[in-house]
Each structure stands twice: as C-alpha cells, then as structure tokens.
Amino acid sequence: MRPLLGLVLITFRELWARKIVLGLFIVSSLVLLAVTFALNLDVVEGSLAGIRLFGQEAAPEDMGGEDAPPLTLSRVVVAVESVVAGVAYWIGILLALFASASLFPDLQSDGRVELLLSKPIGRLNVLFGHMLGVWSAIGILAVYLLGGVWVIMSLKTGVWNPRFLLSLLLVVGMFAVMYAAVMLMGVWTESTALGLIVSYGLIFISMVLAAADQIGPTLGPVGGPVFWGLYHGLPNFTEVTQIVSTLAKGEAVSSWYPFVSSLLFGGAAYAVTGYWFVRRDF
C-alpha cells in the first residue's frame, strides 16, 4: 500500500509542478473571486431585485429578451453554474489533457522507469498509482472550481442545486476517459504528441457523432453501421456536454447512455494499456 501511495503522491506533485496546472488553479481562483465579489445579487424577500456585475447595474428585466421568461434568482444561479460547468468541461478538460499528456511517456522514459520498476511494486500497481495521481490532481482542481462556485452561489442566494455537483463527477469522469486514450497511446508509442492528437481527435469526432440521428440514416447500408459502431464504441464527449448542462440546470437527465458508453470506452482503453504495460520490456 505504501509504494502505491508513494506513486500517487509523486504523480500528483509532478502534475502540480506544471505551470499549466498552476495556471488553471489561478484562473479558477479568479473565477471564484469574480463570483464572490464581482457578481452582486440584490435579493429582497427571496426574490431577485437587481444584479450588478463588476459594479455595473444590470436590471433583471433587461437581461432576457422580450419573449424570455422572467429572470428569477434560480435562473441566475443556473446560468452562472451552467457557464462555469460548460467552461470547466470543455476548456478545463482540454487544458488538463494538455498538461498531463507527457506524464505517462515520461514515466516510461529511460532513467525513470528503471528507478520505478526496480522497487517492490507490481506493474499494475504502478499503472494504478499513476492513474490515481492524475485523476486526483485534476479532481481537486474540479472540486475547487465547481464546488467553490456551487458553495458561493448557494450561500449568496440561498438557492441550493445539488444536481450541479453531479456535473463535477462528469467532468472528472470524462477527463479520465480521455486520459485513457492518452495512456493507451503512451504505452504503445511513448509519444506525448500522439496521445494528444488522438485524444483531441476523439473529441473532434464526438462532435460529428453527436449528430448521429441526422447523419446515420443518410450513410447507406455500409456507412450507416460503421458510423453507428463508432457512435457506440468511441467516447461521446460532445453529447455528455448536454448531460452536464442538464445537471447544472438542476434537471433530471433523460439518458445517461453517452456517459456510460464513454466510460466503457475508457475502461477498455485502460484494460488494454494495463495488458501492454505489464507485458512490455523496458
């Protein structure tokens, strides 16, 4: 247990020593400060009486269109939390992948892997410790940003939206799924660049796959099944955005399938990575 914990701590420290993660932490802190001090909500007897952003008055009635429903306190909370969750999901995961992509190839590099694998720790534990270290480092960032925004908004408004916290799990979960692709490429090629290209490529493909209902039927007897095979087999990163957004609004999710199928992809990628990592020579 001690060697496993040691590897988790080394990986965690290594990721946090990177400037880009430090940058994410600083940006998250600025977001929390902005939500705390720049966004002022005047609440009178439980209703939203006024909004000030950076000191500028923004009357609630000005913030919606003519046909929009009246701007209530809960709608403002949902709007802020949705924006933060969406940004954390897309920008956060892309940057987190960028920051962490070199860790696994580095671990396998000459001079590092020998030190590690000569210790009394099994290879699967090395892999597991590395994964836990990366996940926990990114998880702490996500908890800091999303949990912080949730606590601040809830305390300021009295509107508690517990479903929003599930979006936090989705952000960390989808990062873990995409990191599986980075690790798979890492154990296969030891290339940081290829890991990033493949993971970003999967995100790009997921944008196309998100329109499966429109595109699938147009592809004919060969293209159609192939397209649907990709839809079910690859991570549905873009579609999970919808789940994150739904959770941020405090609404019930109608289908978890995109997230579940993504987790299955991640699980399979980690399993193959583990198989290769245990068998390969260093």
Partner 1 sequence: MPALSVSSLSKTYRTGLLRRSTVRALDGISLAVEEGAIFGLLGPNGAGKTTLVKILLGLVRPSAGTARLFGRPAGTPAARHRIGFVPENHRFPGFFTATQTLHAYGRLADVPRAERNDRIPHLLDRLALDGRGDTKVETFSKGMLQRLGLAQALLNEPDLLFLDEPTGGVDPVGRRAIRDIVLELRDEGKTIFLNSHLLSEVEKVCTQIAILRDGTLVRRGRVEELTAVDRVYDLVATSVPDSLLNTSELPLTPGPDGSSAASGLDQYRVHADDRATLNAVVDRLRSAGVEIESITPLRQSLEDYFIDVVDSPT
* β strands within 115-263, DSSP E: none
Rounded Cα distance, 18 and 66, in Å:
47
120 near partner 1, judged by CB under 8 A: yes
By CB under 8 A, the count of residues binding partner 1 is 27
Number of C-beta neighbours around residue 173 at 10 A: 18
For residue 271, give the 3-state DSSP assignment.
helix
Nearer to partner 1, 4 or 63 (CB): 4
According to CB under 8 A, which one of 45, 62, 213, 281 is a site residue for partner 1? 281
277 near partner 1, judged by CB under 8 A: no
Question: How far is the first Cα of the chain from the last one, in angstroms, to the nearest whole number?
Answer: 24
Q: Which amino acid is at 112?
A: R
Nearer to partner 1, 42 or 119 (CB): 119
In whole angstroms, the minimum distance from the beta carbon of 112 to partner 1 comes to 5
Q: Which stretch binds partner 1 (CB under 8 A): 61-69, 78-86, 106-114, 253-261?
A: 106-114
19 near partner 1, judged by CB under 8 A: no
Structure tokens at 106: 């580095």
According to CB under 8 A, which one of 17, 44, 222, 252 is a site residue for partner 1? 17
Token look-up 């873009």 returns 238
Q: What residues from 67 to 96 belong to the interface with partner 1 (CB under 8 A)?
A: none
Q: Which stretch binds partner 1 (CB under 8 A): 3-11, 173-181, 243-251, 269-277?
A: 3-11
Nearer to partner 1, 37 or 282 (CB): 282
10 near partner 1, judged by CB under 8 A: yes
Q: Which stretch binds partner 1 (CB under 8 A): 49-57, 148-156, 217-225, 274-282?
A: 274-282
194 near partner 1, judged by CB under 8 A: no
Rounded Cα distance, 163 and 252, in Å:
8
In whole angstroms, the minimum distance from the beta carbon of 59 to partner 1 comes to 50
Q: Which amino acid is at 187?
A: V
Q: Which stretch binds partner 1 (CB under 8 A): 107-115, 215-223, 232-240, 269-277?
A: 107-115
Rounded Cα distance, 44 and 10, in Å:
50
For residue 94, give the 3-state DSSP assignment.
helix
Structure tokens at 35: 């939500």
In whole angstroms, the minimum distance from the beta carbon of 110 to partner 1 comes to 6
Q: Which stretch binds partner 1 (CB under 8 A): 4-12, 20-28, 141-149, 255-263?
A: 4-12
Nearest to 242 by CA among 225, 230, 254, 224: 254
149 near partner 1, judged by CB under 8 A: no
Measuring CA to CA, how many Å separate 218 from each of 206, 224, 227, 232, 234?
18, 7, 10, 18, 20
Rounded Cα distance, 180 and 262, in Å:
11
Q: What are the residues binding partner 1 (CB under 8 A)?
A: 2-3, 5-7, 9-10, 13-14, 17, 109-122, 279, 281-282
